[in-house]
Amino acid sequence: MTIISRSEKETEEAGAALGRTLRPGGVVALCGSLGAGKTVFVRGIARALGVTEHVTSPTYTIVNEYLCSRPLFHFDMYRLSGPDDLWEIGWEDYLDRGGVCVLEWGSIVEEALPPEAVRVHMTALDDHTREITVSGVDCS
């Protein structure tokens, strides 16, 4: 499925639409260049999961935890060198906690992702327009 977003609000809404389909244990891998809107998309997922806190990129902390009815574990893989680094920070524990894991720069740790992970590729077409391609979504 491909979505064209023409504003930050539309990008957040696209994230919320995906967030409403996610079940406990769900994993979402986001790919896209700097400024493609990944964190804005995660804000929408967070809102759909019931997060009321301000959602920010975990660039320096690697993971932000938002505890609500369905916890959200928001990762930023930009500073990791590969999947081994993810395993070292307790990836398996996060998967076992029953929350939703969303990874910015998910392609860096592709080998550690479960096969059923949802992939979201974001491309900035211009200053305001984004192409968002989502694959692997099961809405049943």
- Prediction pTM value: 0.91
Q: What angle do CA 15, 20, 25 make, to 5 degrees?
A: 100
pLDDT digits 0-9 by tens, 99-122:
999 999 999 999 999 999 999 999
pLDDT digits 0-9 by tens, 53-78:
999 988 888 999 998 888 999 999 99
Q: Quote the pLDDT of residue 137.
A: 60
Is the separation of the CB atoms in 24 and 99 below 8 Å?
A: yes
Average confidence score pLDDT of the chain: 92
Domain boundaries, the chain: 2-126
Distance CA(46)–CA(78), nearest Å, equals: 20
Strands 100-104 and 63-66, how do they pair? unpaired
| Nearest C-alpha neighbor of 104 from the set 44, 137, 62, 52 | 62
Is the separation of the CB atoms in 27 and 120 below 8 Å?
A: no
Strands 130-135 and 2-5, how do they pair? antiparallel
- 97: how many CB neighbours lie within 10 A of its CB? 15
pLDDT digits 0-9 by tens, 14-31:
999 999 999 999 999 999
CATH level 3 topology of 2-126: Rossmann fold (3.40.50)
Distance CA(59)–CA(53), nearest Å, equals: 17
